[in-house]
Amino acid sequence: MAEELQVNEQTEDVNQDVDQEQEGIKTFNQDEVNKMIAERVAREKKNHEKEIEQAIEDTKKEAKRLSELSKEERDSEEHDKLKQELAESKARLARMELESDTIENLKEEDLPIEFKTFLIAENAESTLENINLFKPIFLDAVQAEVEKRLKGRTPKGSNTVTAKVDKKESQSDIADYANNKRVI
């Protein structure tokens, strides 16, 4: 019976603590949540419509500007635009190849590939140099952490002391002891 009273008192204390914590927390009913969501959706829709209108306006301005140019100028601009797109595509491809090479180099060096973004450079040579500079630092840090975790006190053994003993002397000592004590 006394245990039940003690458990009931503890339960009441916990309930009071929960009530005090909930006083600082704002709760919402479904209507309030729906209203907040509707307001957020309306805001985002308005922003999206503005972005679309801006894109349409920019496209119209570009079309008007191009219509005012001569055929040679339009062809020249289109050629320049295609050259720029080609250069961007080549840069993306080179970056992907560099990332792939970096991953291969990290695997060959037994380093985690998660460091790829930190070690990748403008070209393969610089990236390989970064990897070669990083590897000893990383391995030293890993070794230091391993030693730190394994560091501790040496276990205390028994109080016996071991010493080097000549086998012939120890055998004769044991035989003498056995004769004296008539053990054997």
pLDDT for residue 22: 57
pLDDT for residue 184: 47
Its domain, for residue 103, covers 67-149
Residues of the chain predicted below pLDDT 50:
183-184
pLDDT for residue 25: 80
Residue 118 lies in a domain: yes
How many structural domains does the chain have?
1
Residue 100 lies in a domain: yes
- Matching residue, tokens 């120890």: 170
pLDDT for residue 140: 95
pTM over 0.75: no
**Nearest Cα residue to 120 out of 145, 82, 94:** 94
Residue 46 lies in a domain: no
Residue 16 lies in a domain: no
**Axis crossing angle, helix 71-108 with helix 124-150, rounded to the nearest 10:** 30
Residue 154 lies in a domain: no
Cβ atoms 119, 130 nearer than 8 A: yes
pLDDT for residue 139: 94
Its sign, for the CA torsion 4, 10, 13, 14, is: negative
Helix (H, G, I), strand (E, B) or coil at 176: helix
